Amino acid sequence: MKKRIYPRLAWDGIRKNRRMFAPFLLTCVCMVAIFYILCYLASPTALALIPRGKSSVEMVLTLGQIVLAVFSLVFLFYTHSFLIRRRMKEFGLYNVLGMGKGNLVRVITWESLITAALALAGGLLAGLALSKLAELGLVNLLDGEIDYRLRADAGALVRTALCYALIFALIWLSAIARTARASAIHLMKADSVGERPPKGNWALALAGVVLLGAAYWLAVSIDNPLDALTWFFVAVLMVIAATYLVMIAGSVKLCRGLQACKGYYYKPNHFVSVSSMAYRMKRNGAGLASICIIATMVLVMLSASTCMWFGAEDAILSRFPREINLTARMNEVAQLGDDNLDQIRGTVVRFASARGTTMRNVRDFRCVDLNGVLEDGVVQCDYETVNGRVRFGDLLEICLVSAEDYAAGTGTPLKLAEGEAALLVDGLDYDGDAITLAMGETARRFRVASVARGAAVDEYDGMMLPRLTVIVNDLAAAVEGFDTPGESGIAKLQFQWLYGFDTGLDDDGNSRFAHDLDFELFRLFEESDTVGFRSTMVDARADGAADFFGSYGALFFIGVLLSAVFLAAAVLIIYYKQVSEGYEDAKRFDIMQKVGMTKPEIKRSIASQLLTVFALPLAFAGLHLAFAFPMIQKVLILFSLYDTALFVRTTLISFAAFAALYAGVYALTSREYYRIVSGTA
């Protein structure tokens, strides 16, 4: 056989199957392009353009690359299996006509080479062109300098080419393995062999329902943000597995159940739909589950990342209440006394006036932080002595604030009688009329004057544990005798002075101000014998905001980009599903027409099947999203996003937008399906 015949056969095969090949190639191109864009944006070339938060942008983008690479591998394998199934018949014919397996392998190899070359070339070209757009988007999002020079990064190009060459190589190997295993007759029939009627496995269906229930329960029952973060991935895996089980086994079981119900099943509009759904549910179910999972991923990503982006402002304000924020940590409660604080305060004021800066909107706050375990109205702060092991989830963060500071800070006067305390709770409930603070044997009991929701200090570190704020008349008296370092040598109490003010300077000015003030305080610490503190930290909101927007902007960007990829994937799955089912159903509907089914009946049956297949993944995705909501909300709290209303809004808008897009895609692909079915019918 002439050498040139293999590439010709391969090219012919691709050309003749373009209805199946074109979308596959297009997906490959899209994925390669987006992967290149991610690589490019994380490359030194592009990072140089980003003003702030380079490291977080790089980290998030690298994470995105990994996700995309894994997804590409799985997804391209999946869609390629549709392709190869249709090609098998052709290969079978070649086989019968005298081509050996070796020759077939060569045809497949050429086909893979052509596909890979087209995908890589197209993808990299599109990537190069679009990377500028993405770069503009990201740089603009992060308030960087925009220019219009076209850049490329060799490292990113090579990395992308290698990654996808590897993926294509794996697909090629699996196609060869498949062909090598099958016999000629098998190859000829590969396309027409229907799946065996699925039996519908009770155990699997039940396992799916139980797993889904457990995942949902997990999602709603967790109220600790840190747990939410760890369990989130577990819940995601459970939901993915459960979705597949429920859609594959559960749906078959449901169809079987409907078939057993004679009165329902033997009706013109149910008969055909139910039986063909049941028959193909094994594959159909997997496709639907994939669509559902992708839809859920897109929705979660979109709603969370938009919420992050639009909530970043609030998050920054709560983390950095003033333009300049000073946190001083003391060694003992005495250092929170006015004598000591006046010296530090004086230094700050002198520093500001020396620079000609007026301090406005001053915030001045003392607090004592500790951790403890609450049990029967007693907060045991020496929790190492509590019986049994203390789980992290049992811990509370306790913040002691003086009534005077609280009143000054909030502007609401608070009068407490002797031995009384006012409580603020966040993430826990308390309804006792007294509360005891204990450090080992030392204990102090307060009558509870009032309990309200909230916290006195917003930028309080952590935010992961439930918080109990105890407002007392005298801070020093409240913790007297507590002030002993634990056996481990780690202080159980933190004495903090929080001092902040606005300067009216621009971002750079604030940034310099904070930096210089930090240095000034360090000098004070070194030179003065009278002042005492363990450490000070000065943060400018501008610096924090830059980091925030760096990581949030990158996250938002990745969220939108990955959503686009997953959407494209979902569209492709739907398309392939419709087309491949169209080919299968064409014959079936042809028979039905011959046996006496009217065209309207056929149309109705098609419509009802399509609607079910359309609505099922969307409904499930909505359900998943609803149950994921509380969990994602807790995870967002870790990112200092507390605005539930905003998250509800972004979630609803994301869902509505997705549903509209999905409906559009479905309408378009359904048309293709009708065309195929009625073409032969």
**CB 292 → another protein: shortest distance, Å?**
24
Alpha-carbon distance of 635 to 450, in angstroms, equals: 30
Task: Pick the closer one to another protein by CB: 528 or 680.
Answer: 680
How far from chain centre, in Å, is Cα 304? 7
Alpha-carbon distance of 159 to 175, in angstroms, equals: 25
* Interacting residue with another protein among 278, 465, 561, 606 (CB under 8 A): 278
Q: Which residue, 596, 601, 659, is CA-closest to 302?
A: 659
**CB 299 → another protein: shortest distance, Å?**
33
**CB 591 → another protein: shortest distance, Å?**
4
Task: Pick the closer one to another protein by CB: 78 or 271.
Answer: 271
Q: Are strands 378-380 and 434-439 parallel, antiparallel or unpaired?
A: parallel
Number of residues that bind another protein (CB under 8 A): 27
| Choices 1-9, 41-49, 217-225, 275-283; region in contact with another protein by CB under 8 A | 275-283
Return the residue matching tokens 């890979």: 116
Return the residue matching tokens 């490291």: 55
Instruction: Tell me 327's DSSP state.
Output: E
Task: Pick the closer one to another protein by CB: 9 or 255.
Answer: 255
Task: Pick the closer one to another protein by CB: 281 or 307.
Answer: 281
Task: Pick the closer one to another protein by CB: 195 or 516.
Answer: 195
Q: Is 129 exposed, middle or buried (0-12, 13-18, 19+ CB in 10 A)?
A: exposed
**CB 609 → another protein: shortest distance, Å?**
12
Each residue 36-55 as x (binds another protein by CB under 8 A) or -, in order, gives: --------------------
Task: Pick the closer one to another protein by CB: 122 or 257.
Answer: 257
Task: Pick the closer one to another protein by CB: 354 or 595.
Answer: 595
What do you get for the CA distance between the two ends of the chain, in Å?
Answer: 40
Task: Pick the closer one to another protein by CB: 280 or 319.
Answer: 280
CB count in 10 Å sphere of residue 598: 11
**CB 290 → another protein: shortest distance, Å?**
22
429: helix, strand or coil: coil
| Choices 259-267, 474-482, 567-575, 657-665; region in contact with another protein by CB under 8 A | 259-267
DSSP string, 82-111: HHHHHHHHHHHHHHHTT--HHHHHHHHHHH
DSSP string, 239-275: HHHHHHHIIIIIHHHHHHHHHH-HHHHSSHHHHHHHH
User: If you compute the radius of gyration of the chain from its CA atoms, what whole number of angstroms results?
Assistant: 32
Cα distances (angstroms) measured from residue 429 to each of 376, 377, 451 = 12, 11, 9
Task: Pick the closer one to another protein by CB: 194 or 356.
Answer: 194
* Interacting residue with another protein among 36, 75, 231, 279 (CB under 8 A): 279
* Interacting residue with another protein among 267, 350, 360, 445 (CB under 8 A): 267
* Interacting residue with another protein among 276, 303, 511, 536 (CB under 8 A): 276
Contact 448, 431 (CB under 8 A): no
Q: Which residue, 381, 380, 400, 384, is CA-closest to 495?
A: 400
271 is an interface residue for another protein by CB under 8 A:
yes
**CB 197 → another protein: shortest distance, Å?**
6
**CB 276 → another protein: shortest distance, Å?**
5
Task: Pick the closer one to another protein by CB: 139 or 597.
Answer: 597
Q: Is 288 exposed, middle or buried (0-12, 13-18, 19+ CB in 10 A)?
A: buried
Q: Which of residues 194-233 bind another protein (CB under 8 A)?
A: 194, 196-197
Contact 24, 111 (CB under 8 A): no
Contact 198, 103 (CB under 8 A): no
Task: Pick the closer one to another protein by CB: 591 or 663.
Answer: 591
Alpha-carbon distance of 294 to 196, in angstroms, equals: 27
Q: Give residues with Cβ within 8 angstroms of 245, minimum separation 6.
A: 204, 205, 207, 208, 211
Task: Pick the closer one to another protein by CB: 356 or 596.
Answer: 596
**CB 90 → another protein: shortest distance, Å?**
22
* Interacting residue with another protein among 52, 106, 256, 280 (CB under 8 A): 280
Alpha-carbon distance of 555 to 561, in angstroms, equals: 10
Q: Which of residues 161-200 bind another protein (CB under 8 A)?
A: 194, 196-197
| Choices 7-15, 274-282, 418-426, 644-652; region in contact with another protein by CB under 8 A | 274-282
How far from chain centre, in Å, is Cα 537? 32
**CB 136 → another protein: shortest distance, Å?**
51
**CB 270 → another protein: shortest distance, Å?**
9
Q: Which of residues 572-631 bind another protein (CB under 8 A)?
A: 588, 591-601
Q: Supply 8's token pair.
A: 């010709």
| Choices 170-178, 234-242, 270-278, 291-299; region in contact with another protein by CB under 8 A | 270-278
Alpha-carbon distance of 559 to 649, in angstroms, equals: 17
Q: Give residues with Cβ within 8 angstroms of 177, minimum separation 6.
A: none
**CB 194 → another protein: shortest distance, Å?**
5
**CB 159 → another protein: shortest distance, Å?**
47
312: helix, strand or coil: helix
Task: Pick the closer one to another protein by CB: 3 or 196.
Answer: 196
Q: Give residues with Cβ within 8 angstroms of 656, minimum separation 6.
A: none
Task: Pick the closer one to another protein by CB: 2 or 262.
Answer: 262
Q: Is the dihedral of CA 515, 517, 520, 522 positive or negative?
A: negative
Task: Pick the closer one to another protein by CB: 265 or 674.
Answer: 265
| Choices 86-94, 152-160, 271-279, 423-431; region in contact with another protein by CB under 8 A | 271-279
| Choices 10-18, 268-276, 449-457, 538-546; region in contact with another protein by CB under 8 A | 268-276
Task: Pick the closer one to another protein by CB: 382 or 581.
Answer: 581
Alpha-carbon distance of 377 to 654, in angstroms, equals: 44
262 is an interface residue for another protein by CB under 8 A:
yes
263 is an interface residue for another protein by CB under 8 A:
yes
* Interacting residue with another protein among 174, 275, 327, 385 (CB under 8 A): 275
Cα distances (angstroms) measured from residue 15 to each of 206, 459, 680 = 45, 62, 22
Alpha-carbon distance of 217 to 226, in angstroms, equals: 17
* Interacting residue with another protein among 217, 266, 392, 522 (CB under 8 A): 266
The contact set with another protein (CB under 8 A) reads 194, 196-197, 262-263, 265-268, 271, 275-276, 278-280, 588, 591-601
